[in-house]
């Protein structure tokens, strides 16, 4: 999990200076033979695109999306997902006036993959504060059974969302409003389908597991959602689970290990 999820989002929101700025989706797809793909999809909203292209880039100026479309950057980043992970392709996205990118990586052995939900946001936060390098999710796969090991929550004294978020209620409300329409998610897709699993959040189609999902439109409807989001980066797994119970818009896998049997 992102150790400073609210702090990172606050830095990004402050950097962009407007709401409805970002959608991030990471998906790991696993085949029966243990190979698969990892995709990162990042889309900036129409308002942000207009601001970047009209105000910051300007006619004849530097292309504000040049870095986002830098293939060489993604080739280097492949190694951060683990040994043997390779860059496959980069696709430009145009959606509802917004623009972004979808990057696909491939792997031959999921046992070597290291997966950090939310890591796709790190490159967007070059001008903001970064937390310490987090412990990634790891995988053990054999005989059609996948074991997903989730990292331990950070200790409260290490800092986290509460430490990074604004202390003043009015400032916090303003920052949270800037998150309107922002969505962040990380999923695990089992291509042959799931025979059975003890994962907390499974899709009804029997093929996908949600590892992380933050939908600010849902959170902003309920003050308890904001409170829950501030609790995910501290305390024990039991505390995280209690804080998230029944809260719409926030999903995290709180179990230490999740077992998935493939069809």
- Written as tens digits, the pLDDT of the chain (263 aa) is 444 455 555 555 554 444 557 888 999 999 999 999 999 998 888 777 777 776 554 445 556 677 788 899 999 999 999 999 999 999 999 888 888 999 999 999 999 999 987 776 665 555 444 445 678 999 999 999 999 999 876 555 444 443 344 455 665 566 666 677 788 899 999 999 999 999 999 998 899 999 988 888 887 777 666 666 666 655 677 777 777 777 788 888 889 999 999 99
Backbone angles phi, psi at 220, to 5 degrees: -70, -15
Using CB atoms within 10 A of its CB, is residue 44 exposed (0-12), middle (13-18) or buried (19+)?
buried
| The predicted structure's pLDDT at residue 101 | 93
Q: What is the pTM of this model?
A: 0.80
**Count of domains for the chain:** 1
The Cβ-side half-sphere exposure at 132, using a 13 Å CA radius, reads: 6
Range of the domain at 252: 5-262
């Amino acid at each position: 999990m992102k150790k400073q999820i609210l702090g990172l989002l606050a830095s990004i929101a402050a950097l962009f200076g407007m709401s409805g700025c970002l959608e991030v989706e990471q998906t790991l797809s696993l085949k029966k033979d243990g190979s698969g793909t990892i995709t990162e999809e990042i889309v900036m909203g129409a308002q942000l695109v207009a601001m970047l292209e009209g105000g910051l880039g300007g006619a004849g100026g530097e292309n504000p999306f040049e870095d986002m479309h830098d293939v060489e950057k993604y080739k280097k980043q492949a190694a951060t997902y683990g040994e043997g992970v390779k860059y496959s392709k980069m696709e430009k996205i145009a959606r509802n006036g917004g623009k972004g990118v979808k990057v696909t990586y491939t792997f031959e052995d999921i046992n070597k993959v290291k997966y950090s939900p939310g890591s796709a946001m790190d490159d967007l936060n070059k001008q903001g504060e970064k937390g310490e390098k987090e412990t990634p999710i790891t995988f053990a796969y054999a005989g059609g059974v996948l074991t997903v090991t989730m990292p331990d929550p950070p200790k409260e004294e290490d800092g986290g969302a509460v430490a990074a978020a604004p202390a003043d209620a009015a400032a916090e409300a303003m920052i949270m409003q800037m998150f309107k329409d922002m969505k962040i998610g990380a999923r695990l897709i089992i291509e042959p389908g799931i025979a059975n699993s003890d994962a907390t959040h499974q899709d009804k189609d029997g093929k996908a597991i949600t590892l992380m999902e933050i939908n600010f439109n849902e959170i902003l409807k309920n003050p308890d959602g904001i409170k829950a989001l501030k609790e995910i980066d501290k305390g024990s797994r039991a505390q995280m689970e209690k804080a998230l119970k029944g809260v719409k818009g926030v999903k995290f896998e709180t179990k230490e290990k999740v077992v998935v049997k493939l069809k």
